[in-house]
Each structure stands twice: as C-alpha cells, then as structure tokens.
Amino acid sequence: MILEALNYLATRPLTAKPFRRFVRYSVSLWSRANRCARDWAGHEDNSKAAIRAAIADLRQRRTAVVLGSGLLRDVPIDDLCRSFDTVVLVDLVHLASVRLRLMRRRYRNVRLIERDLSGWDDLAAGSNPDALGFLRGVPYLDLVVSANLLSQIGIGARRRMEAGESGMPEDTVPRLIAGHLDGLATLGCRTCLLTDIRLDVIDINGKQHDSVDLMHGAGMPPADDTWTWPVIPVGEESADYQVVHTVVAVRR
C-alpha cells in the first residue's frame, strides 16, 4: 500500500487536471500487474512479439505512436526506441513509475502525450467518433500501435453511462469501438492492433460459467495471432474462479 500511495502522490501533480481522476485506476492496474506478474508474463511477451513482427519489415522507421502505452509492460520500448527516430506514447495517465523508468533508460527520443482516445466527446457533441484524427497531423508517421486499449474504451464508456452521464446514444459503446477500428484502418502507415475481444469466467475445474463479448458486436478484422490472458487468475479475487481474456493481434 505504501508504494501505491507514493506512486499516486507522485503521479497526480504530473497529470493534467482533466485526467487526474484516472490516476487511481492506473495505480491499481500497476499494483495488480505486479501481483500477477507470473500469470501475465505470457500475454506481455506475446504482445511484444506482435509489435516486433509489425516492425520487422518496415523500410522507414521515423515516428512510432503507441496508443494506450500504459505501464509499458506489453510494449517493447527498447526495440521501439532503437528502431525509430521518435516514439510517442499516448495515454490518459503516465505514471510516475513509468516516467522514472524512461528517465533511467535515458530515452531521448520518447515523447509523452496525455489524451482521451475514446471518442466520447465527439459522440457527445453529435459527431462520429474521430479520436484518432490527430494522427493525421503527425509527420513522418510509420507505425501506430493500439496496445490493449480497445476493450478498455468500451468498459470505460459503459461505466460512464451506468454512472448516470446522460444524453449519449444507446449504441455508444459499439460506436466508440467501431470508431477506433475505422480510425486505424484509415491511417496511411503500418498499424498493429492488440486487443482482448472476449472475457470468460472459468472455475478451477475448467468449466465456463460466463462469457462476454468485449467488442460488443463490432466487426473485427482477421487476426494474425490469438492467445489467452488470465487477467484475474485464481487466488486474485476468488479461490474458485479465474477470468480469462482472449486476445488478438492484427497487423496491417
């Protein structure tokens, strides 16, 4: 608890006021990732491998953008910084622990941007979601990675609606997810989409008790790789159940 409190206190003043309410969630994720490091290792390795595969045959390596850079546990930051002139990390919050790691590694070509990538504000204003529109103004853009972000857009939107934020269309969640997919598809550069698409609740005997479509019916492009991620392993929240996500990688 002490480390979590220190990370929170150090991160909050570094975060823009509109995004400070997300600091607590980011610290909680950081704490869970540390506790579940062994169970998450396979997912993190697969995510890094998918990004490396997206880089492998790129002829030009000028600017790379990582959407939902988060804790950088699933991003091969060393490879990106060696391969590209500029690496831009975009998320709601960049934890103090992540900033310290980057500082210690002395990455001189990394830029941090705080940004809401959900498209919620566009939809609230009556427009189609265009949260990735800012990428069209990034010069010399050769790679965009969406790093295990897409399902979180849907989860976050659903929570906001359940919390009573009114005036949003009933199909807000699938439209935001589709908007992210469309935004990636229209970019004129290499893209690598990593996202969990399904959640399964499984007991210790291997029996499935529930399943949730994290894409809410949005049409997904064909996957290049698929794997499972025990997001909540047995013992984390229950001695009887685990929550396992199915993850896909799509490179275009």
**Rounded average pLDDT over 120-143:** 92
Sort strands 86-91 and 63-67 into parallel, antiparallel or unpaired: parallel
Please tell me the total count of domains within the chain.
Answer: 1
Where b means 16+ CB within 10 Å and e means fewer, 105-119 reads eebeebeeebebbbb
Domain that holds residue 173: 2-251
d(CA 133, CA 212): 29
Mean pLDDT of the chain: 94
Which 3 state secondary structure label does DSSP give 121?
A: helix
H-type alpha helices, the chain: 2-11, 23-35, 37-56, 77-83, 96-105, 120-124, 150-162, 172-185
Assess contact for 138 and 65: CB atoms under 8 A.
Answer: yes
pTM: 0.94
Q: Which of 33, 30, 34 is nearest to 11 (CA)?
A: 30
* CATH code, domain carrying 110: 3.40.50
- Give residue 1's pLDDT band: very low, low, confident or very high (50, 70, 90): confident
Residue 154's pLDDT is what? 92
> Could you report the per-residue pLDDT of 66-85, keeping only the tens digit for each?
999 999 999 999 999 999 99
Share of the chain above pLDDT 90, in %: 87
Q: Is the pLDDT reported for residue 210 higher than 80?
A: yes
d(CA 239, CA 236): 8
